[in-house]
């Protein structure tokens, strides 16, 4: 990992009602880097993202983004450039594509023309009601809305939930070029392991709320068996995260 991390999570334990869901979890992401967060259902991926944006209190550990601690003030963290795309997508179904984007622009102040440049398809669909878009189109819109918040750190929770791999194949490379273009750090929670490893710089695999495996994406592309092992909690992988 190169440069100073723009997001650094150090040994956090976070849970619900006093019961930890993730324990002693650490990760870091630098500017322009994509970190894939993999792991089975219930592993703690969403909890990690919520903690990273200040939406859940930490039982222990620290979260630092852009040189300052991330605390409970989600809106303020968002204004500083720490933006979450939740797995619920956050698009308004009764509004048009253009109105969704206008609202996001008003709130976040980002460059609408640039976002239309990244996603030309959205321009051609701008009068359509979001409720009538395909799943892939809605994901594209959710990503576009998040970019209008001018994120420095973008955290994406299963953008491709319920999507056909073909839609993911279209979206993820686009995310890669936007991260490069904007020098934006990305934490990508993704179920499509190979597609995620295909665009990420590094990856971690969570299992039962802990980091079971952490390595560069290129390393993991060549060691898919280690990824599987960590995914299913088998302990035969060689490098467990420190």
Residues that bind ligand ADP (CB under 6 A): 16, 21, 39, 41-47
- The values of phi and psi at residue 212, to 5°, are -90, -25
Q: How far is the CB of 174 from ligand ADP (least distance, A)?
A: 23
Give the residue with the Cβ less far from ligand ADP, 40 or 135.
40
CB–CB of 148/104 below 8 Å?
yes
Give the residue with the Cβ less far from ligand ADP, 39 or 54.
39
Q: Which does 30 bind (CB under 5 to 8 A by kind): ligand ADP, Mg ion, none?
A: none
Give the residue with the Cβ less far from Mg ion, 45 or 152.
45
Give the residue with the Cβ less far from Mg ion, 101 or 186.
186
Tokens 């420190």 found at = 242
Q: How far is the CB of 14 from ligand ADP (least distance, A)?
A: 9
Pairing between strand 19-30 and 210-216? unpaired
Q: How far is the CB of 230 from ligand ADP (least distance, A)?
A: 13
Q: Which two tokens stand for residue 157?
A: 């929770």
**Contacting positions for Mg ion (CB under 5 A):** 45-46
Q: How far is the CB of 67 from Mg ion (least distance, A)?
A: 28
Give the residue with the Cβ less far from ligand ADP, 3 or 162.
162
DSSP 40-57: -TTSSHHHHHHHHTTSS-
Q: Where are the alpha helices (DSSP H) in the chain?
A: 45-52, 74-79, 97-108, 112-118, 120-124, 135-147, 165-182, 193-199, 217-221, 224-231
Q: How far is the CB of 38 from ligand ADP (least distance, A)?
A: 9
Q: CB atoms < 10 A from the CB of 226, how many? A: 20
Q: Which does 41 bind (CB under 5 to 8 A by kind): ligand ADP, Mg ion, none?
A: ligand ADP
């Amino acid at each position: 990992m190169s440069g100073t991390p723009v997001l650094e999570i150090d040994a956090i334990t976070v849970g619900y009602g006093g019961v930890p869901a993730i324990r002693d979890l650490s990760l870091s992401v630098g500017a322009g880097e994509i970190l894939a967060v993999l792991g089975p259902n219930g592993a703690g991926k969403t909890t990690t993202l919520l903690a990273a944006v200040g939406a859940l209190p930490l039982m222990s550990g620290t979260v630092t983004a852009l040189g300052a601690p991330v605390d409970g003030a989600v809106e303020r963290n968002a204004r500083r450039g720490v933006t979450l795309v939740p797995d619920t997508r956050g698009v308004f179904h009764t509004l048009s594509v253009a109105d969704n984007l206008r609202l996001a622009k008003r709130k976040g102040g980002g460059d609408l023309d640039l976002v239309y440049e990244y996603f030309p398809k959205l321009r051609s669909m701008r009068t359509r009601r979001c409720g009538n878009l395909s799943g892939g189109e809605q994901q594209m819109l959710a990503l576009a809305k998040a970019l209008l918040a001018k994120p420095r750190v973008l955290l994406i929770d299963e953008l491709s939930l319920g999507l056909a791999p073909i839609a993911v194949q279209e979206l993820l490379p686009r995310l890669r070029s936007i991260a490069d273009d904007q020098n934006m750090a990305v934490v990508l929670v993704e179920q499509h392991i190979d597609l995620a490893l295909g665009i990420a710089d590094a990856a971690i695999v969570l299992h039962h709320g802990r980091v079971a495996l952490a390595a560069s994406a290129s390393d993991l592309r060549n060691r898919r068996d280690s990824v599987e092992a960590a995914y299913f909690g088998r302990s035969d992988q060689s490098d467990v995260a420190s």
